[in-house]
Amino acid sequence: MRVQMTVNGKAVSGEVAPETLLAQFLRENLRLTGTHIGCDTSQCGACVVLCGGKSVKSCTMLAAQAEGADITTIEGMESPGGELHPLQEAFRQNHGLQCGFCTPGMVMSAADLLRQNPSPSEEEIRHWLEGNICRCTGYHNIVKAVQAVAAAK
Amino acid sequence: MSDNGHGIGAPVKRVEDFRFLTGRGTYTDDINRPNQTCAFFLRSPHARAQIKSIDAAKAKSAPGVVAVFTGGDMQCGGIPCGWQVTDKNGEPMKEPPHPPLAKDKVSHVGDQVAVVIAESLSAAKDAAELIAVDYEVQTPVVDMEKAIAGGDVVHEEAPGNLCYDWELCTAEGGAKEVDDAIANSAHSVSLRIVNNRLAPNAMEPRAAIGDYDLASGEYTLYTTSQNPHVIRLLMGAFVLGIPEHKLRVVAPDVGGGFGSKIFHYAEEAVVTWASAQIKRPVKWTAERSESFVSDAHGRDHITDVTLALDAEHKFTALKVQTLANMGAYLSTFASCVPTYLYATLLAGVYTTPKICAGVKAVFTNTVPVDAYRGAGRPEATFLLERIVEQAARKLGVDRVELRRKNFIAPDAFPYQTPVALQYDSGDYHSSLEKALAMSDWEGFAARKKESAANGKLRGIGISTYIEACGIAPSAVVGSLGARAGLFEAATVRVHPTGSVTVFTGSHSHGQGHETTFAQIVAEKLGLPMENISIVHGDTAKVPFGMGTYGSRSLAVGGEAISRALNKIAEKARKIAAHLMEADAADVVFANGEFAVKGTDKKKAFAEVSLAAYVPHNFPHKSAHDDGEGLEPGLEEQAFYDPLNFTYPAGCHICEVEVEPETGAVTVAALTTVDDVGRVINPMIVEGQVHGGLAQGVGQALLERAFYDDNGQLLSGSMMDYTLPRAKDMPPLSGLQTATTETLCAHNSLGVKGVGETGTIGSPPAVINAVLDALAERGVTDIQMPATPFRVWSALQEAGK
């Protein structure tokens, strides 16, 4: 079947099997490999992208379900001029990443949090990130990074 | 040396972050090779079974299938173990065969039975369902104590399921002398400790792509490895018989390892071999549920420990008897973890004069068990810090004072322990005192009172640990049975315009080597960071390497780089002296400039490197080398083999709140003071500690790889296995990390290693805190993980 959607501001389309997940479509059809797949039970959050601005786990959504949707992946977070998104910059400044595998999902998830709640408390940040697992950082610096962006707003 | 702000000690932001933050990293699964096929492994659903027959005919003719292979198709060596252990009777350990694809039997749930290679992953998966395997299911061996009690065996080659029965006992009179010392001591205290089995769960699942080039006869393996050269050696020499010059192993960006990606895994050999059979690239990526039943697990010890003390409460003797689970096969490092990396650490930071450790390594029908972040040292630390705590409680003495009393004194270094190791430096009092102050140990009573007012039980726990890093001095580990030297190699290439590429055998999978190693270059050559590149992870680029594990990257790999840099600086100084018509002895090198002492003559590093490659004015070697002249070019290599392990040590303090109605434990505060030697990048050091602490809290409170009696892994997914999440860690205000510094005495950087301190020091601090909270209700012991159910049950039991 054919799917069409907007990804990072560009109209894209592709031929996929009906069971193709959005994560697979992004990674294999579009070669946007910044979206990662870290589990098979919708737990880890490495695959989080924005769908119409809302964070979704792209491993738990069929490509077909994203028909006509506006998708943003980690590759679409920089400004057109190549400047890092404030969250990307804050993760760098606060050493909020180590191996980098969970990072795209963390950034996308945090982006949705700040969209909904521009000044979350530490507890709210930790609660929101329940669906994103990081095995490297112990979350401390990730929480600091999200706080830093919230404080700057 | 340099003062450019990017050298040793500066919290430089990481070089690698940009690509990871923008989705530009290249992990193995991000790589697709032209004309690539997809592999899916059919795995055993049974823990123990004979394979009577496999019928793959239907699968082979299924749509999109390229090939199906089973154990009978693959004539090759078995997956090797890298360490020999000789048991206490002088017998070599038992090494049952470990074929990459099962031949006549399967030995754990997840064992590879067949590989289906197809045009798409879904075609491979569909076809795998058509393979008919006739299993004769047998009773599995799961429980370690039952395993060694007689009965069913995992492998005929290992009677009684015993891999080895090993002892480390340096008392002249052997184990009896230690038993006598315990019997004759004023006090003794005993505990049984289960060190819970863990599933490492690096966020990136393992993946491998085999790519055979028919034109050149060369094989390339892309793999999620912490040590590509080691994989090349093990797979090439032992499994597939491919010489090094025909085998390239690439470990690109790797999404965490924590030990689980050290080992050579069957899937790597299968995809490499299969690629040559079908003459197309073969790609495999694990699903997380496969990771749980195929990545090596960690820990899994049952230990009986007795500590004896004299009337003044000085430790007199320690006896340890451990059962260590090996799982179904011996993984690469498995045999050395509960021996050389465990028993040798049983002196801890204490002066205990007599120590005897017996370790029985046991085969079971479970996933192989091998090194996981800390590897042996968390197990040693946990039992020591639990038994010391228990002694303090039993004797009614202050637990901090008991530790202080038995510490190795700061002026006692080098200190020879009774368990083979010689500690080169340390100061355990200073890390203890600093941690006590930072955690406001003295003010705990007030906080406990406040918690009590809210209906909560509050506890504080402490752990003073030591570990051995920088694995490892080849001569030492060779005598212990390592089958490879554990040195490290580095090449420093200075380019004509003065920029530098470093090729290191260490591998970064989150540690930030591209930054830390570049800081060493910035420091020693006085160059800006942007002029330095660190290359790792490709055997075709990096001449040699032993990889990253055991917190060895800086202490061994970094030191190798430092030594190669010294050679660069020395040669460049001679070239500079020639250019400035000065005596080399009068030329000083600082901040990237060569200057002749007492003059205003100067040459920038880039000018000197250009002269090395455009050597028109150059101190060439004569036709018959007179020993003075130089060859053109500026590239040096160093192989560094350390003289000793390094010994990071420190103090971790944990404060918890327990809700008595539910048994839920909240980590309110964690304070760590670690002596990791000289710190190159304090930001990265702190990050390493944070991550280790989360894994330590995970082991203490949350994580357990749990098998039922049928050998089924019940916690085999991220929905069932409780990984720490953001809310499981203490609040920002409650997590404090700091360092003290005694320099490593036997490497020039003075560095020790930081990668594992968190998982080593914290679990006993957490459990001691939980027990401190529960003490008022009469609870005296609890096993890890201290889940709400266990805590609640312990409270109910004690309240009876």
The string of pLDDT tens digits covering residues B173-204 is 889 999 999 999 999 999 999 999 999 999 99
CATH of domain B424-468+645-800: 3.30.365.10
d(CA B582, CA B586): 7
Which member of B21, B692, B717 has the closest CB to residue A97? B21
* Radius of gyration of chain B measured on its C-alpha atoms: 28
pLDDT one-digit tens code per residue, B579-624: 999 999 999 999 999 999 999 999 999 999 999 999 999 999 877 7
Distance from C-alpha of B492 to C-alpha of B563, rounded to nearest angstrom:
10
Q: What mean pLDDT is reported for chain A?
A: 97
Q: Which of B645, B650, B674, B676 is nearest to B743 (CA)?
A: B676
Convert the pLDDT of each residue in B214-224 to its tens digit: 999 999 999 99
Instruction: Report d(CA B582, CA B587) in Å as an integer.
Output: 7
Q: C-alpha distances in angstroms, B233 versus A60, B238, B344?
A: 40, 8, 28
CB contact under 8 Å between A98 and B692, yes or no, is no
Please name the CATH architecture into which domain B140-196+297-412 falls.
2-Layer Sandwich (3.30)
Could you write out the DSSP letters of every residue in B161-201? Answer: GEEEEEEEE-STTHHHHHHHHHHTSSEEEEEEEEE--B---
Q: What is the mean pLDDT of residues A44-67?
A: 98
pLDDT at B140: 98
Between B628 and B203, whose confidence is greater? B203
Q: What is the pLDDT of residue B172?
A: 81
Which of B23, B690, B731 comes nearest A137 by C-beta?
B690
What pLDDT does B714 receive?
98
CA–centroid distance for B280 within its chain: 34
Instruction: Quickly name the fold that domain B17-24+487-640 has.
Output: Aldehyde Oxidoreductase; domain 4 (3.30.365)
CATH 3.90.1170.50 fits B31-138+204-255+261-294, yes or no: yes
How would you class B512 by CB atoms within 10 Å of its CB: exposed for 0-12, middle for 13-18, buried for 19 or more? buried
pLDDT at B48 over 60: yes
| B516 interfaces chain A, CB cutoff of 8 Å | no
Position B559 confidence tier, pLDDT thresholds 50, 70, 90: very high
- When pLDDT is averaged across residues B550-572 and rounded to a whole number, the result is 97
CA distance A78 to chain B (A): 7
**Minimal Cβ distance to A17: which of B26, B122, B254:** B122
Contact, B96 vs B155, CB < 8 A? yes
CB contact under 8 A, A99 and B686: no
Report yes or no: B419 and B345 within 8 Å, Cβ to Cβ.
Answer: yes
Give the pLDDT confidence of B680-697 residue by residue, as tens digits: 999 999 999 999 999 999
CA atoms of B552 and B472, how far apart (whole Å): 8
What pLDDT score does B289 carry? 97
- Please count the other Cβ atoms lying within 10 Å of the Cβ belonging to residue B67: 19
Identical fold between B17-24+487-640 and B31-138+204-255+261-294: no
CA separation for the pair A111, B326 (Å, rounded): 44
Q: Which of B644, B643, B697 is nearest to B373 (CA)?
A: B697
How far apart CA B553 and CA B508 sit, in angstroms, is 9
CATH value of A2-76 in 2.60.260.40, 3.40.50.300, 3.10.20.30, 3.80.30.20 = 3.10.20.30
pLDDT of residue B2: 66
| Residue B602 bridge partners (DSSP) | B595
- Residue whose pair of structure tokens reads 């079908």 in the numeric block: B278
Chain A partners of B122 at a C-beta cutoff of 8 Å?
17, 19
Q: Please judge whether B732 and A143 are an interchain contact, meaning their C-beta atoms are less than 8 angstroms apart.
A: yes
Residue B512: closest C-alpha in chain A:
A98
Assess B616–A contact: CB distance below 8 Å, yes or no: no
Distance (Å, whole) CA B541 – CA B490: 11
Domain borders along chain A are 2-76, 86-152
Whether residue B627 is predicted with pLDDT greater than 80 in this model: the reply is no
Residue B388 contacts residue B563 (beta carbons within 8 Å):
no
Output helix, strand, coil percentages for chain A, rounded to the nearest 5.
40, 15, 45
Mapped onto helix, strand or coil, the DSSP state of residue B632 is: coil
B-chain residues near A99 (CB < 8 A): 20, 202-204, 253-256, 509-510
Dist CA B101 CA B188 (whole Å):
50
- Which residue, among B207, B260, B480, B287, has the nearest Cα to B368 in the 3D structure? B260
- The pLDDT value given to residue A48: 98
Q: Read off the pLDDT of residues B290-330 as tens digits, 9 standing for 90 and up.
A: 999 999 999 999 999 999 999 999 999 999 999 999 999 99
In this predicted structure, the answer to whether residue B481 has a pLDDT above a threshold of 90 is no
> How far is it, in rounded angstroms, from Cα A135 to Cα B24?
20
Q: What is the pLDDT of residue B624?
A: 73
Domain range list for chain B = 17-24+487-640, 31-138+204-255+261-294, 140-196+297-412, 424-468+645-800
Check CB contact of B16 with chain A, cutoff 8 Å.
yes
Q: Residue B111 pLDDT > 60, yes or no?
A: yes
pLDDT in tens, B251-276: 999 999 999 999 999 999 999 999 99
Best to test chain B binding among A16, A25, A101, A143 (most B CBs inside 10 Å): A101
A-proximal residues of B, 103-162, CB under 8 Å: 122
What was the pLDDT predicted at B483?
A: 79
| Contact (CB<8Å) A101/B204 | yes
B2/B13 Cα distance (integer angstroms): 18
Distance CA B513, CA B367 (A): 31
Residue B4 pLDDT more than 80?
no
Whether the per-residue pLDDT at B625 is higher than 70: the answer is: no
CATH superfamily of A86-152: [2Fe-2S]-binding domain (1.10.150.120)
pLDDT of B475: 85
Q: Which residues of A touch B20 (CB under 8 A)?
A: 97, 99-100, 103
The phi, psi pair for B657, rounded to 5°, reads -120, 135
pLDDT value at B1 more than 60: no
Q: What residues 720-739 of chain B have any CB closer than 8 A to a CB of chain A?
A: 723-727, 729, 731-732, 735
ipTM of predicted assembly, 2 dp: 0.98
What mean pLDDT comes out for the span B430-454?
A: 98
Average pLDDT, chain B: 97
| H/E stretch holding B70 | strand B65-70
pLDDT band at residue B626 under the 50/70/90 scheme: low
